[in-house]
Amino acid sequence: MLSLNDPLLLKTQLFINGEWVNGDSGNTFPIVNPATGTEICKLASGNKNDTNTAIKCAQNAMQKWRQLTAKYRTQILKQWHALIMENIDDLALILCAEQGKPLAEAKGEIQYGAAYIEWFAEEAKRIYGDIIPSNNANQRLLTVKQPIGVVAAITPWNFPNAMITRKVAPALAAGCAVVVKPAEATPLSALALAELADRAGLPKGLLSIVVGVDAIEIGKALTDHPLVRKLSFTGSTKVGKLLIKQCADTVKKTSMELGGNAPFIVFEDADLDQAVQGAIASKFRNAGQTCVCANRFLVQRSVYQEFTEKFIEQTKKLIVGNGNTENVTMGPLINTDAVQNIHALVTDAERNGATKVLGGAASELGSNYYLPTILTNVTPQMRIFNEEIFGPVAPIIPFDTEEQALELANATEAGLASYVYTQNYARIWRFSENLENGIVGINEGIISSEVAPFGGVKESGNGREGSKYGIDDYIEIKYLCMGGI
């Protein structure tokens, strides 16, 4: 068991209708620390019956919640935020144990996730309608915004805290209730958030957490149920497409934050030291397991060698190990399948002419660890150029002209994030406007914030999380036409 200041934050049951329950089946499954391979605890396993119960309770709970003032909802959300910040050390330990990222990075995620709750607590008071100038003197036209209904949220294992708050906070702020299905590998952060929401005074049924070993069964219960009016999903493009199809029968509104293949473009006039620091931050954060991770490094040929040398030098300074160990800067991957998948990409690249200049192998630390890796002589024909890596591997590709860089950058069905390093402000505007991505980092490697819209184009999904736009996906616009005036 974890050594927590508040042991009650480590939950081993499902949270449904404000109660901690063992689930319909009574079955359990182990939660394993990827850094050590040891079992943290056994957790109750939910199923479709638990999911359906949570949905019905959510529908009942939101009938009163939606009628309460925005100011009241704001106060509850702010109390939740305060409790998260008060318990940040315990929450970081839980996250580090179940996911593997370094403790400092885990604490950063808790702060980041809490920021969405604080932000949308304020946005609850800014859901404005409109008065529309009428084309008829006897009519008055206006719009009001109302909560969409019960929201289902399916979240991934790479950010088990923040991917939940980004969805739950705007939904609650808008007046909705939420049923969350967290990844079965990392559910403990979700359950700890639910415990703190309960302590903050969130009414029963507004937030339920259903997790189980049969993700397909739970997911289908969420997509099939007619009371669920909105599905928000973060995960792979393959699964996202399936969920969209399943939601079609009941015409649910969907938000999809799917896979990425982010280009990191370095022009010859860039500040190379700044570019290398951005590359390290973007590529190796969370061991490369982020959807906005730099996936392909496109470097202008005139600075290709210098950038590569500086990048190698800084990458060698990374310390790989158990995230709960002091000074470790990169933890393990989530499981051995992840290690095998990225090593297969590296092997394929080498077989087709790429040069391994750093790493390129599993670490001796354990089966879930992979060394920070840099490949040169990578070409667009290789799998590693075209597929999302989701690991600590950086392929570097040279280019000659701006036009060629743009063509390479856009040569993917993904369109989530991209990064551009240049001191030419005309190029910044021109190039950024032509990149087919929802997010562009300009001379910056860390781009996500609660105040900015997060989301992609093309097959990277739809909808936006965070910012003033983030609440739009949880409301419906109702038009009122008043006659006889």
Residues annotated as catalytic are 257, 291
Place of tokens 């493009």: 237
The two three-digit tokens of residue 312, written as one number = 């190698």
CA 171/CA 206 separation, integer angstroms: 10
Neighbour tally for 341: CB within 10 Å: 15
3-class secondary-structure state, position 89: helix
Residue 181 makes CB contacts below 8 A (sequence gap 6+) with 51, 152, 153, 154, 155, 210, 211, 215, 218, 219, 222
Using left for φ > 0, alpha for ψ between -120 and 50, and beta otherwise, residue 300 falls in: beta
- Residue of 144, 209, 146, 220 lying closest to 176 (CA atoms): 146
Give the strand order in the sheet containing 19-21: 19-21, 14-16, 207-209, 178-181, 150-154, 228-234, 253-257, 461-462
> Nearest 5°: CA angle at 446, between 441 and 449?
95
Q: Which of 343, 325, 339 is nearest to 367 (CA)?
A: 339
C-alpha 212/C-alpha 50 separation (Å) is 10
Compute CA 216 distance to the chain's CA centroid, rounded to the nearest angstrom.
20
- Do residues 89 and 139 lie in contact, with contact meaning Cβ atoms separated by under 8 Å? no
Mention every residue, 6+ apart, whose C-beta is less than 8 A from residue 441.
278, 282, 417, 418, 419, 420, 447
Q: Which residue has the tokens 């800084």?
A: 314
Burial of 343 (0-12, 13-18, 19+ CB in 10 A): middle
CB atoms within 10 A of CB 119: 24
- The identity of residue 124, as a single letter, is A
CB 183 within 8 A of CB 34: no
Both tokens of 256, joined, read 């999809």
Number of neighbours of residue 361 by Cβ within 10 angstroms: 12
- DSSP-H helix ranges across 6-148: 48-65, 70-86, 88-99, 103-123
Cβ–Cβ < 8 Å for 454, 260: no
